[in-house]
Structure 1
């Protein structure tokens, strides 16, 4: 009789233990519903370690929901429970779906996906937060999780891939940057900056040929975009291929003489000649740029700068003369002032287009003062005080 009683007692004990094991999961859910996240976390952490409940998809669903609540809580006492709560929530929800599929119950996948979808905003927010602090490595991690969320839901998140790419370039992690920017290129993400950063990532990797190919593809897809054109110009200039750039731009102008982009093309040809020290040719193309676009501020300013720089060079030559060469000094000073006078109309036109441009204002002030154009100087000074 005693043996029978013992057997019954042992059976009740096993039932009680099994119930206790599942009660951790139930308690976790109830605590979460009441907003008691400390207790909910403690209970669900036990449930996912327990042999009886750790392979149950519902356990991992609850784990994901509780850790999502921790990750999104505005209260510091809950936030400090786990700084990686969002990441743990994502992995838990993935596991819940996997176990649900293995068990062929298909009861919780929809609910898990709802939470996974909401995690996207969490990862974006956390990524943006650390990005502002210039913690680019951590930002990449969060943006990658935003990307993984879309993959889990059977989608492609170009914005997440784009963010990873830009952050990788800024954070000097070109390998990951190039990988994700290539994904954006492959799906025809409609933003020319993709090609700018893709080119930079490839340059950081030392792939000069790939960088040039990326810019060419960008120019092909966005032929009107000035930023891409400038990026290509920079690439050619860094490689010492100014002549190659000039030749390609001249060919583009010949091909489409009525193209509005010819203003930019002519400007870049002028800038290339300018950088090569061929100022006469530079001025010709700056003027061509103005013919196409009469409001091209940079072209007006650069022509003015050509004459200002000429004047400065001649004046330095004059100042370096010995005192005995007074006549030559006067001749050179006169020539310098003549160049400075030529600069003024171009700088004035530039200032009319951009009234607050500091370098233009400074250049005009110095020219007016040097040439004793006191009325002009006074007028300019009075405008700056308003």
Structure 2
């Protein structure tokens, strides 16, 4: 009697296993015919049943079906709504990912590769969706929120072999670490990205600033050199490298960089005003005042009706304002260091200093006309108005700064 019961049990199990295998096939057929709700229902059952839950094919189809749901949610809203699936899209994407990973895991343990390529292709699709979602949060400044999302994307994109998504995700992740004050994590990832020859400008700039803050100027310069090599057309990085060489006292290398920037300015039309301002800034910092003024004026002479030129004009005006401001400060410092008996020389330097302060005013005021809340410009004008005893102007700027401070 026991044997009969056991045989009945085996027969029942056989029918059940066959039924579950059919559910896997039905799920795939439903997916192909856009009956996605049915496909999901059948594959969910197959993923839980003893006879099919350890089959890589089951999880392969599960990954496909859930990926299809994600795809339809993005491309065919009418069809997706017809399925009446209430599961959030990110959850569908994660379920697809985990199903694919499960299929890969089972095949790896069995040393088989039947579904591997198809699984990787599905994973590549899903990881693009996950990256886009992470990048959306990153773009909105939700750095703490996007960090775990990006960390997951990096892990999955590495499995999928999508180097582009890995690089982009790591770039966003490093900047998010920095924005959330996880400086060590950010710096480590910046270094990795520089070694991998990233073309993201911000990575080089942030690592340069981090090294500079740590008083590691040689490392800071090397980061910028790598950036200029990996992004040869990037004039911002070249401008920073020029400034770094000037700060380090390396006049020869600074002059080489300035010459390269001038060649860029001579051969481009787009961004030409910006490059001219960068050259002006570099020459100003190298104390080549006449050359710097000429570059700023050349930038100002370009068509102001072009958006890029208009923005650069404001930067050129700021650069000229800073040039005359710093010149005035240097002259005042020279006068303050004179002995008491050098009264005539002192008076002369004081007059020259005030003249330079006066020259800087119209440039800073032009900046304020475009950027009325620019703190650096307002602070500079506050100092100037104080030095020149322009009481009403001083009060006006001081009130503006106080209002911005308490805003």
Q: TM-score, normalised by structure 2?
A: 0.59
Q: Specify the alignment match of 1:138 in structure 2.
A: 148
- In the alignment, does 2:235 pair up with 1:218? no
Q: Distance in 2 between matches of 1:287 and 1:16?
A: 92
Report if the CA contact (8 A) 1:65-1:115 is conserved: no
Q: Distance in 2 between matches of 1:367 and 1:208?
A: 34
Report if the CA contact (8 A) 1:318-1:329 is conserved: yes
Q: Distance in 1 between matches of 2:220 and 2:371?
A: 39
Q: Distance in 1 between matches of 2:21 and 2:37?
A: 13
Report how many residues are paired. 352
Instruction: Indicate the RMSD between aligned Cα atoms, in angstroms.
Output: 5.8
How far residue 244 of structure 1 moved from its aligned partner, in angstroms, is: 0.6
Report if the CA contact (8 A) 1:267-1:289 is conserved: yes
- In the alignment, does 2:203 pair up with 1:197? yes
**Aligned in 2, Cα 1:53/1:227: closer, same or farther, shift over 3 Å?**
same
Q: Distance in 1 between matches of 2:267 and 2:132?
A: 44
Report if the CA contact (8 A) 1:162-1:181 is conserved: no
User: Which runs of structure 2 are paired with 1:159-174 in the superposition (5 Å)?
Assistant: 159-168=165-174, 171=177, 172=185
| Residue from 6, 12, 17 that aligns with 1:16 | 12
How far residue 212 of structure 1 moved from its aligned partner, in angstroms, is: 1.9
Q: Distance in 1 between matches of 2:343 and 2:369?
A: 39
Q: Distance in 1 between matches of 2:247 and 2:149?
A: 30
- In the alignment, does 2:306 pair up with 1:299? no
Report if the CA contact (8 A) 1:368-1:374 is conserved: yes
How far residue 14 of structure 1 moved from its aligned partner, in angstroms, is: 1.3
Q: Specify the alignment match of 2:129 in structure 1.
A: 121
Q: Specify the alignment match of 2:182 in structure 1.
A: none
Report if the CA contact (8 A) 2:386-2:394 is conserved: yes
**Aligned in 2, Cα 1:129/1:66: closer, same or farther, shift over 3 Å?**
farther
Q: Specify the alignment match of 1:88 in structure 2.
A: 98
Report if the CA contact (8 A) 1:310-1:339 is conserved: yes
How far residue 113 of structure 1 moved from its aligned partner, in angstroms, is: 5.5
Q: Specify the alignment match of 2:306 in structure 1.
A: none
Q: Distance in 2 between matches of 1:74 and 1:238?
A: 60
Which of structures 1 and 2 has the bigger CA Rg? 1
Q: Specify the alignment match of 1:253 in structure 2.
A: 262
User: 1:169-199 CA deviation, whole Å, 9 max, x = no partner?
Assistant: 65436666666677786xxxxxxx5355368
**Aligned in 2, Cα 1:33/1:116: closer, same or farther, shift over 3 Å?**
farther
How far residue 125 of structure 1 moved from its aligned partner, in angstroms, is: 2.0
Q: Name the stretch that deviates more: 62-71 or 227-236.
A: 62-71
User: 1:92-150 CA deviation, whole Å, 9 max, x = no partner?
Assistant: 35468989x9597x8x9879966863453135425654882336763443332563586
Report if the CA contact (8 A) 2:331-2:353 is conserved: yes
1:91 match: secondary structure:
helix
Report if the CA contact (8 A) 1:161-1:181 is conserved: no
User: Which runs of structure 2 are paired with 1:336-375 in the superposition (5 Å)?
Assistant: 336-351=353-368, 354=371, 357-364=374-381, 366-368=383-385, 370-371=387-388
User: Which runs of structure 2 are paired with 1:1-386 in the superposition (5 Å)?
Assistant: 7-20=3-16, 33=37, 46-47=48-49, 50=50, 52-61=51-60, 63-64=62-63, 85=95, 87-92=97-102, 94=104, 117-118=125-126, 120-126=128-134, 129=137, 132-134=142-144, 138-145=148-155, 147-148=157-158, 151=161, 158-168=164-174, 171=177, 172=185, 193-194=199-200, 197=203, 212-219=225-232, 222=233, 225-233=234-242, 236=245, 241-250=250-259, 253=262, 257=266, 267-276=277-286, 278=287, 281-294=288-301, 296-312=313-329, 333-351=350-368, 354=371, 357-364=374-381, 366-368=383-385, 370-371=387-388
Q: Distance in 2 between matches of 1:335 and 1:208?
A: 36
Q: Where in structure 2 are there 5+ consecutive unaligned residues? A: 31-35, 74-84, 178-184, 212-218, 302-311
Report if the CA contact (8 A) 2:328-2:357 is conserved: yes
Q: TM-score, normalised by structure 1?
A: 0.61
How far residue 12 of structure 1 moved from its aligned partner, in angstroms, is: 1.8
